[in-house]
Copies of this chain bind each other. A is one copy, B any other.
Amino acid sequence: MKLKTAILGVTGYVGQQLLSLLVRHPNVDLRLLTSEKFSGKRADEAFPHLSGYADLSLVSVSKISYSQPLDIVFSCLPGGTSSVFVRKFLEEGVRVIDLSPDLRFSDPDDYSRAHGAAPRFPELLSRAVYGLSELNREKIKDASLVANAGCYSTCVSLGMAPFLRTHDTEDDVIVDIKSSYSTSGRAPKPESHYTEVKEDVSARGAGGDDQKHEILRVLSDFFGVEKNLLFFNTRVPVKRGIMATSYLKLRSKVSPDEIKELYTRFYEEDVFVRVCDGPPGMASVSGSNYISLGFCEREGHLVVVSVLDNLMKGAAGQAVQNMNIVFGFPEDEGLGQVPLFP
């Protein structure tokens, strides 16, 4: 079975990564690709690294026809714009996986808190299934609308999940993020200008604060816990990757062995989660859909280090994983890329 598939917004890094994955997915037949910047060009001309893989013409999203038969649409459009098109495809009865931040809250108030403005289509929020594959697999199966989880939320939530489900911790949770430059997109700007940032490590231009609320939603919805979450993001000079160092204050002592056992069991069915012996490095998952987790106990705190590739498990890779779940394909179909080493 080949799904007739569209990608909206294929120009940016997430769109590019998704396209790279879908051109080789055995169950996907790409029918529609939109790009504002390259509309009119052929995909393999606009994106020379895909030469030989994508001979479709790129069209502007404002010019697409909704009448062509499609099985699934991925939207990599920017927040605010994405839901407009998601809505139209849903009305046509097409399943949608939305990679934008538009639909990651079921409660409009939570959305407003995160984004500082009310959602454009509040009725869509309740229809969207939150697309964090490992935590919400059952609801994703056969969903018509998946709101793909954010990169920071995936990294932090999967890192804390097993522990928060089973152990009591103090209210304060401090999450110190180290994020790569691909998290801030493809548009050139001073804070991503090579000469100035190559030897820099800085909080300048590192956003993601809206995902604090997304993480809070996960903690509340999936684990029933309310925490006081401090989210602080620092940009580091790498291309791909996110590391979340989470500090949770313990209410009682736990041994490292006990924690490893807990995590290993919690994720034993999850092919993309790797539980490590020590804190993993960002490069250990680069180019792959894996998330790696390690931990240690220090000064009465559990320190969880979680790393993922923000364009893969943090975005396009998880979107493909969610599609696989929706349609009942093997969860790792088209996602067999091993981390690039070296």
Chain A positions near chain B (C-beta within 8 angstroms): 13, 16-17, 20, 23-24, 47-53, 172, 174, 176, 178, 180-182, 186, 188-190, 192-204, 228-232, 234, 236-241, 243, 245, 247, 249, 271, 274, 276, 278-288, 298-301, 303, 305, 307, 336-342
Q: How far is the CB of A305 from chain B (nearest CB, A)?
A: 7
Copies of this chain, complex-wide, total 4
**In the complex, chain B residues whose CB is within 8 Å of the CB of A20:** 338, 341
Q: How far is the CB of A24 from chain B (nearest CB, A)?
A: 6
The answer on a CB contact under 8 Å between A338 and B53 is yes
Q: How far is the CB of A16 from chain B (nearest CB, A)?
A: 6
Give the residue of B193, B247, B283 whose beta carbon is less than 8 angstroms from that of A199: B283
Given contacts A16-B341, A20-B341, A188-B193, 12 further A-B pairs with CB under 8 A are A47-B341, A49-B285, A49-B288, A174-B174, A178-B236, A194-B197, A201-B283, A201-B307, A204-B278, A204-B279, A230-B298, A231-B298
Q: A181-B194, A234-B243 are in contact. Are A204 and B281 (CB under 8 A)?
A: yes
Considering the complex of A and B, which 3 residue pairs feature the smallest CB-CB distances, nearest first? A202-B281, A200-B283, A188-B188
* Docked pose: A237 CA to B337 CA in angstroms: 24
**In the complex, chain B residues whose CB is within 8 Å of the CB of A288:** 49
Q: A193-B188, A299-B172 are in contact. Are A49 and B284 (CB under 8 A)?
A: yes
- Nearest neighbor of A282 in chain B, beta-carbon distance: B201
The answer on a CB contact under 8 Å between B283 and A202 is yes
* Docked pose: A203 CA to B282 CA in angstroms: 10
Q: A178-B201, A188-B193, A281-B200 are in contact. Are A236 and B239 (CB under 8 A)?
A: no
* Docked pose: A339 CA to B301 CA in angstroms: 37
Q: How far is the CB of A140 from chain B (nearest CB, A)?
A: 22
Q: How far is the CB of A268 from chain B (nearest CB, A)?
A: 12
- Nearest neighbor of A249 in chain B, beta-carbon distance: B172
The answer on a CB contact under 8 Å between A196 and B283 is yes
**In the complex, chain B residues whose CB is within 8 Å of the CB of A200:** 238, 281-284
* Docked pose: A228 CA to B298 CA in angstroms: 10
The answer on a CB contact under 8 Å between B193 and A236 is no
Give the residue of B188, B198, B274 whose beta carbon is less than 8 angstroms from that of A190: B188
* Docked pose: A199 CA to B268 CA in angstroms: 29
- Nearest neighbor of A188 in chain B, beta-carbon distance: B188
Give the residue of B49, B190, B280, B342 whose beta carbon is less than 8 angstroms from that of A338: B49
* Docked pose: A131 CA to B281 CA in angstroms: 34
The answer on a CB contact under 8 Å between A339 and B49 is yes
Give the residue of B24, B193, B228, B245 whose beta carbon is less than 8 angstroms from that of A232: B245
Q: A230-B299, A337-B337 are in contact. Are A342 and B196 (CB under 8 A)?
A: yes
The 25 listed contacts between A and B (C-beta, < 8 Å) are A49-B338, A51-B274, A52-B271, A172-B301, A174-B247, A178-B201, A188-B188, A188-B189, A192-B194, A192-B195, A194-B198, A194-B237, A198-B238, A199-B239, A200-B284, A202-B280, A202-B281, A202-B283, A203-B281, A230-B247, A232-B245, A236-B236, A247-B247, A337-B337, A340-B340
Give the residue of B51, B176, B182 whose beta carbon is less than 8 angstroms from that of A176: B176
Q: A24-B338, A287-B287, A301-B230 are in contact. Are A195 and B174 (CB under 8 A)?
A: no
